[in-house]
């Protein structure tokens, strides 16, 4: 059986062209086994790791550099020309070359010692070599720093708490979790929460901002929104909210709102001379003459927003949006009584638990900060488990 310049192993035939081996070598010939042992030694060298070959290649290049001092410039120029041509051919045909750590170290060192290193680059761009050098710089100083890099580690209990809040409250974002943690005496940034959590309107004019800022304590807003039931009926919900602390002072539901019914709800919302100075509302036809006269007798001045401009009543619109997104969009309403119960549970959560950015990250009814000394964190479900309150309890 001829080897034909190849080697035989126990795993099968591996055809490797070996320089200096005749085209036909028989194992049964007198010198066949000797040449086969010679080929076997060459295959043992082939088992060296790729990193060792890379180091040998770099050392060979350095040895060739030393020998080049004893050759003429004309011979060196011809050799460089021949090598560049061969590299150009390989670059057109071969895939991206695989580089080892020794190769990168060689070019990073060459960049520091030779100004003309850019002119001889063919296989990769100069920016690649600069990136290798910067990576080596970072590794060097990381080694000099003893591995102490980055911010202080976050406590494992805090990480687990962030993930619990994220999983139990699908509508909460990073700022909302940060505010809840602050109420527990744990201060972390939104970037930290985004890192450890599991992987999931119109602009008011300057005059309106000035008006609301100067008269926020004396302004209330009201608006209607519609809720469909499981039997495709439509229920109307009226909310009344104050601008000072964004408190929901009153809400009510009905199937057929009228001007008389709406006026009576305003009376129920502000009993005992607690009426605000201004009432902000839209131009819906449901606010008829009966409503206007009743509100005027209470000493309230009505401020009507422009037609088709709901953004001019921002507090009421944002509250309605929060009620829909955080509560009603996740509940199927069966009846008017069911709707009242769901809204009552959400209003209690909104008033006593939910923080607001405009209220310095506090709820409309202020909550006290509970320091870690008061005990472990417990989870209290609210609104049927759609939301939760986190408080500290002694063990």
- 232 lies in the same domain as 352: yes
In a domain, 260, yes or no: yes
Q: Would you call 342 exposed, middle or buried from its count of C-beta atoms within 10 A (0-12, 13-18, 19+)?
A: buried
- 347 lies in the same domain as 233: yes
The per-residue pLDDT for range 35-60, each reduced to its tens digit, is 445 555 554 445 445 556 667 776 77
- 41 lies in the same domain as 57: no
In a domain, 351, yes or no: yes
Three-state secondary structure call for residue 309: coil
In a domain, 73, yes or no: yes
- 66 lies in the same domain as 186: no
- 109 lies in the same domain as 223: no
What's the mean per-residue pLDDT of the chain?
79
The per-residue pLDDT for range 350-392, each reduced to its tens digit, is 999 999 888 888 999 999 999 999 999 999 999 999 999 999 9
The pLDDT value given to residue 86: 63
- 263 lies in the same domain as 360: yes
Domain boundary pick from 144, 167, 187: 144
Task: Report the C-alpha gap between 88 and 392 in whole angstroms.
Answer: 70
The pLDDT value given to residue 390: 94
The per-residue pLDDT for range 173-232, each reduced to its tens digit, is 889 999 999 999 999 999 999 888 887 644 334 456 566 567 677 899 999 999 999 999
Q: Which whole number is the average pLDDT over 88-114?
A: 70
- 57 lies in the same domain as 32: no
- 220 lies in the same domain as 191: no
In a domain, 94, yes or no: yes
Three-state secondary structure call for residue 215: helix
- 223 lies in the same domain as 97: no
Q: How many CB atoms lie within 10 A of CB 374?
A: 14
- 215 lies in the same domain as 359: yes
In a domain, 175, yes or no: yes
The per-residue pLDDT for range 142-158, each reduced to its tens digit, is 777 765 656 678 889 99
Q: Would you call 1 exposed, middle or buried from its count of C-beta atoms within 10 A (0-12, 13-18, 19+)?
A: exposed
Structural domain span for residue 30: 7-46
- 102 lies in the same domain as 168: no
The pLDDT value given to residue 94: 58
In a domain, 15, yes or no: yes
Q: How many CB atoms lie within 10 A of CB 349?
A: 19
Task: Report the C-alpha gap between 56 and 50 in whole angstroms.
Answer: 10
Q: Which whole number is the average pLDDT over 61-74?
A: 76
**Proportion of the chain above pLDDT 90, given as a percent:** 44
- 238 lies in the same domain as 348: yes
Three-state secondary structure call for residue 258: coil
List the CATH number of the domain containing 248. 3.30.420.10
Q: Would you call 13 exposed, middle or buried from its count of C-beta atoms within 10 A (0-12, 13-18, 19+)?
A: exposed
Total structural domains in the chain?
A: 4
In a domain, 318, yes or no: no
In a domain, 371, yes or no: no
Strand runs labelled E in the chain: 7-9, 12-14, 219-228, 234-242, 248-254, 278-281, 301-304, 376-382, 387-393
What's this model's pTM, rounded to 2 decimal places? 0.54
């Amino acid at each position: 059986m001829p080897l034909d310049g190849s080697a035989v192993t126990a795993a099968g035939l591996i055809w490797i062209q070996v320089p200096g081996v005749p085209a036909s070598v028989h194992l049964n010939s007198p010198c066949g086994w000797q040449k086969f042992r010679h080929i076997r030694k060459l295959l043992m060298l082939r088992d060296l790791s790729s990193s060792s070959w890379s180091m040998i290649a770099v050392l060979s290049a350095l040895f060739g550099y030393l020998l080049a001092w004893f050759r003429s410039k004309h011979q060196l120029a011809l050799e460089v020309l021949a090598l560049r041509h061969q590299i150009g051919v390989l670059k057109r045909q071969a895939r991206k070359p695989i580089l080892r750590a020794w190769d990168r170290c060689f070019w990073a060192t060459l960049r520091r010692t030779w100004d003309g290193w850019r002119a001889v680059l063919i296989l990769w761009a100069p920016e690649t070599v600069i990136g290798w050098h910067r990576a080596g710089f970072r590794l060097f100083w990381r080694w000099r720093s003893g591995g102490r890099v980055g911010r202080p580690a976050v406590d494992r209990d805090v990480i687990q708490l962030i993930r619990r809040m994220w999983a139990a409250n699908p509508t909460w974002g990073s700022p909302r979790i940060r505010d809840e943690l602050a109420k527990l005496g744990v201060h972390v940034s939104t970037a930290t929460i985004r890192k450890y959590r599991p992987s999931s309107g119109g602009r008011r004019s300057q005059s309106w901002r000035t008006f609301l800022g100067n008269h926020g304590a004396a302004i209330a807003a009201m608006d209607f929104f519609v809720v469909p039931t499981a039997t495709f009926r439509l229920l109307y919900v009226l909310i009344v909210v104050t601008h000072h602390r964004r408190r929901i002072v009153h809400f009510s539901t009905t199937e057929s709102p009228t001007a008389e019914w709406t006026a009576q709800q305003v009376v129920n919302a502000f009993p005992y001379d607690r009426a605000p100075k201004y009432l902000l509302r839209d131009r819906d036809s449901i606010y008829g003459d009966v409503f206007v006269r009743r509100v005027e007798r209470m000493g309230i001045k009505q401020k009507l927003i422009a037609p088709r401009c709901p953004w001019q009543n921002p507090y009421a619109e944002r509250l309605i949006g929060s009620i829909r997104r955080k509560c009603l969009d996740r509940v199927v309403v069966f009846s008017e009584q069911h709707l009242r119960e769901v809204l009552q549970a959400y209003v209690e959560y909104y008033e006593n638990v939910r923080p607001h950015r405009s209220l310095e990250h506090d709820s409309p009814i202020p909550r006290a900060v509970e320091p870690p000394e008061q005990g472990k964190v417990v989870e209290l479900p609210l609104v049927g488990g759609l939301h939760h309150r986190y408080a500290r309890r002694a063990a």
